[in-house]
A = this chain, B = another copy of it.
Amino acid sequence: MNYQKVLEKIQAEVEPFRREGRQADYIPALARVNPDQFGICLRTLDGNTFTVGDADVAFSIQSISKVFSLAIAMHFEGEELWRRMGREPSGTAFNSLVQLEYEHGIPRNPLINAGALVTADILLEKMADPDDFYIRFLRTLSGNPSLNYNDEVAASEQSCGYMNAAIANLLKHYGNIRGDIDRVLSLYFRMCAVEMSCRDLAEAFVPFANHRAPFAYEGITLTTSQIKRMNAIMQTCGFYDEAGEFSYLVGLPGKSGVGGGIAAICPQRYAIAVWSPRLNAKGNSIMGMKALELFTTLTAESIF
């Protein structure tokens, strides 16, 4: 298949959506981003890379970070991880605190904020310097040694992150955060504040697509079964209350972030990252969702 042509066709077809939606603007650093950018990077497992648009512009990965921290936590905890969180879809938007309170501090899954805060707590338990480790892990995964935290973003998020602080306090109330709340929040916000391009993300997601190869990066190892299970979690939980929608329209495991990025994989075939800052009402990139829907339609290469 001529993937380059496919990407170019997609780029043309999503053009009419370029002005729809609004970018996240709850912190200055996100509000400053030019919203009219759009890029795709596709990495096939046979080693080819295809890009269109702003595929090399770095942006805030935000919740896509939850996939990377989950990989680290699975390495350390294995199936024990599920004593502290579930692996079921969260169902509805209004569930952030509601569900957590009903379910006594056990987050529904690791890809919602509550779950990622518990994951951050695990990293703090298991590592002397998780901040340092995490960025090294991402550099190795992506093959880009210049990746870094944007500490302006992290500080801004933390200064206005009252909802996440509420969640962290509730988790602590139920004993599901063991470390210091501020330390957990600080690590969480920093992990969200890494900046990566579509190219970086596609490269970093290749190991999750290539589950027959050994996963071993910076000492983090995952089995084939564990990688498949991470894919299953991305499939059912990766898009908040649009998980069903993404599964229906796109049909790939993936994870979106409020910075406008989406990374997805097709097992044994490819990893793909798209980016465009303008979001729909559910917080997912409008052009990104559209681009991925077109990609699996045009290539007929989804998991279904």
Q: State A92–B90 Cα separation when bound (angstroms).
A: 8
Within 8 A of B (CB), among A84-131: 86-92, 94-99, 101-102, 108-109
Residues in B whose Cβ lies below 8 Å from that of A211: 304
Binds B, one of A41-49, A137-145, A150-158, A238-246: A238-246
Given A98-B101, A101-B96: A87 in contact with B244 (beta carbons within 8 A) = yes
Given A162-B170, A244-B88: A297 in contact with B267 (beta carbons within 8 A) = no
Q: State A89–B169 Cα separation when bound (angstroms).
A: 25
Chain B residue with Cβ nearest A173: B162
Residues in B whose Cβ lies below 8 Å from that of A94: 101-102
Indicate if the CB atoms of B89 and A95 lie closer than 8 Å. no
CB contact between A163 and one of B89, B102, B169, B297 (< 8 Å): that residue: B169
Q: What's the least CB distance linking A294 to chain B, in Å?
A: 12
Indicate if the CB atoms of A253 and B304 lie closer than 8 Å. yes
Q: State A248–B224 Cα separation when bound (angstroms).
A: 13
From A97, A165, A245, residue with most partner B Cβ within 10 Å: A97
Q: State A229–B293 Cα separation when bound (angstroms).
A: 12
Copies assembled: 4
Indicate if the CB atoms of B163 and A166 lie closer than 8 Å. no
Q: State A90–B166 Cα separation when bound (angstroms).
A: 20
Residues in B whose Cβ lies below 8 Å from that of A253: 304
Residues in B whose Cβ lies below 8 Å from that of A304: 211, 228-229, 231-232, 235, 253, 267, 303
Residues in B whose Cβ lies below 8 Å from that of A91: 88-92, 95, 99, 108
Chain B residue with Cβ nearest A211: B304
CB contact between A303 and one of B172, B248, B267 (< 8 Å): that residue: B267
Q: State A244–B244 Cα separation when bound (angstroms).
A: 12
Within 8 A of B (CB), among A222-275: 224-225, 228-229, 231-233, 235-237, 241-245, 247-248, 251, 253, 267
A148 contacts the other chain (CB 8 A): no
14 additional A-B residue pairs with CB within 8 Å, beyond A88-B244, A90-B91: A86-B244, A87-B245, A88-B241, A88-B242, A96-B101, A109-B244, A162-B181, A166-B173, A211-B304, A235-B235, A235-B247, A236-B236, A253-B304, A303-B303
